[in-house]
């Protein structure tokens, strides 16, 4: 397919062409926004390395019942409704790497942004949350 055929197709199918342009812009915007986030996304393997090398604090924002069903070993549970960067559980961790985690990665991204605004130096977010951790066949601990 050459450029002339592509232009002819776009002329015959303007709605499809607009849809493609809109999706392309949305993807570009999302990726550029990701580059300029104040916190870094981690994959499960990167998180295990950070925990082992730098003694990272993992803050799990899952509801208590979900936390008890399975969480990353050593993580601390803070309910999303009670999450506060000034929380006493987080007070001594301003210079440590802090990783926000939740079930699917949505609530933890917001928490990571709040931690960075509160002055935490090394803030991370587990991309995909506990679901990604499980897909990587990494173990979860049950109970408290």
Show me where the domains of the chain are located. Answer: 3-35, 40-135
* Residue 67 vs residues 1, 46, 47, 120: alpha-carbon distances, Å: 53, 21, 18, 24
Predicted confidence (pLDDT) per residue in 20-51, tens digit: 999 999 999 877 877 777 788 899 999 999 99
pLDDT tens track for 57-81: 999 999 888 899 999 999 999 887 7
**Does the predicted model carry a pTM greater than 0.85?**
no
Q: Does domain 40-135 have CATH number 3.30.70.20?
A: no
Cα–Cα distance measured from residue 72 to residue 74, given in angstroms and rounded to the nearest whole number: 6
């Amino acid at each position: 397919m050459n450029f002339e055929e592509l232009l002819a197709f776009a002329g015959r199918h303007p709605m499809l062409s607009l849809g493609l342009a809109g999706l392309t812009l949305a993807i570009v915007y999302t990726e550029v926004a990701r580059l300029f986030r104040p916190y870094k996304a981690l994959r499960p393997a990167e998180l295990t390395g950070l925990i082992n090398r730098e003694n990272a604090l993992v803050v799990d924002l899952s509801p208590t019942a979900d936390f008890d069903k399975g969480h990353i070993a050593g993580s601390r549970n803070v309910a999303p409704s009670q999450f506060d960067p000034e929380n006493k559980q987080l007070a001594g961790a301003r210079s440590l790497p802090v990783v926000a985690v939740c079930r699917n990665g949505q609530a933890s991204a917001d928490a990571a942004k709040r931690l960075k605004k509160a002055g935490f130096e090394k803030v991370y977010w587990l991309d995909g949350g506990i679901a990604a951790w499980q897909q990587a066949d990494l173990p979860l601990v049950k109970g408290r």
